[in-house]
Amino acid sequence: MLKAGRIRALGAMSGTSLDGVDAAVVETDGERIYGFGDSVYRAYSAQEQAVLSAALGRWPGDDLDEALEVVQRAHIEALSGFGDVGLIGFHGQTLAHEPQGRGTHQLGDGDALAEALRVPVVWDFRSADIRLGGEGAPLAPFYHFACAQWMGATAPLAFLNLGGVGNLTWVDPRRDRPEEEGALLAFDTGPANAPINDVTMARRGQPFDRDGALARRGEVVQGALELFLDEPYFLRMPPKSLDRDAFRDMIALVEELDDADAVATLTGMSAAAVLRGMEHCPEPPERLLVTGGGRKNPVLMEMLRVALDCPVEPVEAVGLDGDMLEAQAFAHLAVRVARGLPTSCPGTTGVRAGVSGGTISRPSHAIRTMGGGGA
């Protein structure tokens, strides 16, 4: 097991939007953040996206050779060229997520990645948590805790990731450790960008509603919004998590609307899901820091600002990088796994007790950069 000490860790995340791979370096001991390094974004081509999109909903054992090749190639390209890194955290591409059913599936081969890059790779972060009764997601909260301490926060605050799906983390930075009771409460809020992207693509061939341009021209249709909010998911107490397409049916609620009203209404639904989520915070947070691509949608951000009592700001307001925060999270979590520290706890995934998820693959015949016995 790795001894406490700083390490230059590289994390890679390819999110539910299927837009590409984010990779970023963090200098961390898995508890504190000491600094940030380079980052890279490697977009999936339209053809790669189509292959991955066709693989959504599939499980291990299905024929996924082509999709696996896409994931491996994109990651090798994204992760080469970072120089000296001690450890890689490899999230993989989520294809399916059914924590109360078949489990969770992140496509990717950490063994092959470790061989190709000659660096130890931590991967399969979510399965162990599910085996112990957890949701397997979200996992960024333990990194959010480290970010809150890095910022020097002294009062509870919240992080919101607006990716394909939204997830919210309430953090009490006055606690010493993230797994302490009352330090974290986290859960997926609901759909964020995924339904907006699906509709702009289907109707206009556009991958997303850039700068909220369409939503700005439309109106939120209240009847559709209310039907959406009737979803039992919003009544469930956290922790709770979602599959990317869990809310696919909501698109039917806007089918009859023109493009602008449809996208405005879906944007309103994403905001309303966050507002519902904020009601679960144990104490009002002093600010809401937003990460993920949705922070670049001014219409969505404005809807949140109008409805919430606390300031709503992109994470850049505190010097963090909202395009790379999830990639950094998996670098930080990889170091925690290598040190045997928990990566989730009852407050973040509902797991029975704190658990250190993830598997470590070491390249064969490599110069060991980590202590302890190899695989």
Ligand X SMILES: Nc1ncnc2c1ncn2[C@@H]1O[C@H](COP(=O)(O)OP(=O)(O)OP(=O)(O)O)[C@@H](O)[C@H]1O
Q: Which of 330, 332, 325 is nearest to 30 (CA)?
A: 332
Q: Which of 324, 327, 302, 304 is nearest to 315 (CA)?
A: 324
Q: Is 207 left (phi over 0), alpha (psi -120 to 50) or beta?
A: alpha
- Among residues 14, 28, 39, 94, the one that binds ligand AH0 under rule CB under 6 A: 94
Residues 74-133 that bind ligand X (CB under 6 A): none
Contact call for residues 257 and 265 (beta carbons, < 8 A): yes
- Residue with smaller CB distance to ligand AH0, 28 or 161: 161
- Among residues 209, 231, 245, 261, the one that binds ligand X under rule CB under 6 A: 209
Per-residue binding letters, 20-59, with ligand AH0 (x by CB under 6 A): ----------------------------------------
- Residue with smaller CB distance to ligand AH0, 164 or 322: 164
Q: Residue 64 interacts with ligand AH0 (CB under 6 A)?
A: no
Q: How far apart are CA 80 and CA 46, in angstroms?
A: 22
Q: Which of 219, 191, 189, 215 is nearest to 204 (CA)?
A: 215
Q: How far apart are CA 266 and CA 252, in angstroms?
A: 11
- Residue with smaller CB distance to ligand AH0, 167 or 356: 167
| From 46-54, 134-142, 145-153, 358-366, span contacting ligand AH0 (CB under 6 A) | 134-142
Q: Residue 193 interacts with ligand X (CB under 6 A)?
A: yes
Q: Residue 210 interacts with ligand X (CB under 6 A)?
A: yes
Phi, psi of 339 (to 5 degrees): -90, 0
| From 96-104, 163-171, 234-242, 246-254, span contacting ligand X (CB under 6 A) | 163-171
Query: Which partner, ligand AH0, ligand X, none, binds residue 138 by CB below 5 to 8 Å per kind?
Result: ligand AH0
- Among residues 190, 292, 342, 350, the one that binds ligand X under rule CB under 6 A: 292
Quote the tokens at residue 284: 């009002």
- Among residues 294, 314, 346, 363, the one that binds ligand X under rule CB under 6 A: 294
Residues 216-255 that bind ligand AH0 (CB under 6 A): 241
Element (H, E) at 145: helix 141-151
For residues 177-202, b (16+ Cβ closer than 10 Å) or e, as one string?
ebbeeebbbbbbbbbbbbbbbbbbee
Q: How far apart are CA 345 and CA 351, in angstroms?
A: 6
- Among residues 8, 11, 12, 15, the one that binds ligand AH0 under rule CB under 6 A: 15
Per-residue binding letters, 303-342, with ligand X (x by CB under 6 A): -----------------------x----------------
Q: How far is the CB of 94 from ligand X (least distance, A)?
A: 7
Q: Residue 297 interacts with ligand X (CB under 6 A)?
A: yes
Contact call for residues 24 and 79 (beta carbons, < 8 A): no
Contact call for residues 22 and 13 (beta carbons, < 8 A): yes
Q: How far is the CB of 136 from ligand AH0 (least distance, A)?
A: 6
Q: How far apart are CA 331 and CA 142, in angstroms?
A: 12
Tell me the angle at which helices 110-117 and 65-79 cross, rounded to the nearest 10 degrees: 40
Report the DSSP pairing between strands 288-291 and 157-162.
Answer: parallel
22 is in an annotated binding site: yes
Query: Which partner, ligand X, ligand AH0, none, binds residue 170 by CB below 5 to 8 Å per kind?
Result: none
Query: Which partner, ligand X, ligand AH0, none, binds residue 97 by CB below 5 to 8 Å per kind?
Result: ligand AH0
Q: How far is the CB of 15 from ligand X (least distance, A)?
A: 2
Q: Residue 17 interacts with ligand X (CB under 6 A)?
A: yes
Residue type, 181: E
48: DSSP letter: H
Quote the tokens at residue 180: 């302490």
How long a stretch of residues is the chain? 375
Residues that bind ligand AH0 (CB under 6 A): 15-16, 94, 97, 104, 137-140, 161, 163-165, 167, 188, 241, 326
Task: Please give the annotated binding residues for ATP, written as ranges.
Answer: 15-22
Residues that bind ligand X (CB under 6 A): 15-17, 19, 161, 163-165, 193, 196-197, 208-212, 292-294, 296-297, 326
Task: Please give the annotated binding residues, written as ranges.
Answer: 15-22
